Amino acid sequence: MTTTTLAPATRPPVLTLDDRLTLASLAMDEKLALAGLAVAVNSAHIPTELPEVTVPQLPQTAMPAPYTTPFAALLHQASIRLQTDGWTRECLVDEQGRRCPIGAIRREADSRWQADDACVLLLEAIQRHWQAETIPSWNAQQSSVAPVLLAFDRAAELAHQRSI
């Protein structure tokens, strides 16, 4: 009968922390290389140059109003209308398209009654800070658009405070 002798079982060598970190790093390098290859293959059909996108410039009147109440927003839009179209003191709208405060409000209002109510608010704001009987008489006394725009801002703030 033949006997075979087995060699004594040997244990694998004990790895140090540095050895284990090296093996983990090599395994991760292989996985990252495969992942990079997969990305390259899966994105090969995507064009490398994107078309140039131009964003159209919105007109100033398309800017959202800072007020959520309807009359405050209307007065704000009328103020922007004066800045965009220009300001006049002689008539509602002149030949060049410039407007007086009432003309700007009428242009932005949805209805005649809404324009009338906004003019009442503007007159109240004017009378709180200046001596005036009417909007046209006050407007005719102004030498620049600055006080007119200030009056619109104050009227819009008044409408906003009243939640109208």
Does the residue 137 lie in any domain? Answer: yes
Supply the pLDDT for residue 63.
Answer: 57
Does the residue 38 lie in any domain? Answer: no
Does the residue 43 lie in any domain? Answer: no
Does the residue 123 lie in any domain? Answer: yes
Does the residue 151 lie in any domain? Answer: yes
Global pTM reads 0.61
Q: What's the mean pLDDT when you consider all of the chain?
A: 88
Residue type (1 letter), 139: N
Half-sphere exposure of 29 (CA within 13 A, CB side): 6
Does the residue 58 lie in any domain? Answer: no
Does the residue 34 lie in any domain? Answer: no
In the block, tokens 């090296």 appear at 22
Domain that holds residue 119: 70-161
Does the residue 26 lie in any domain? Answer: no
| Exposure string for 28-53, b = 16+ CB within 10 A, e = fewer | eeeeeeeeeeeeeeeeeeeeeeeeee
Total number of domains constituting the chain:
1
Which pLDDT tens digit goes with each residue over 27-56?
999 999 999 888 888 887 777 776 777 767
Which pLDDT tens digit goes with each residue over 84-125?
999 999 899 999 999 999 999 999 999 999 999 999 999 999
Q: Do the Cβ atoms of 76 and 105 come closer than 8 Å?
A: no
| 12 contacts: CB under 8 Å, gap ≥ 6 | none
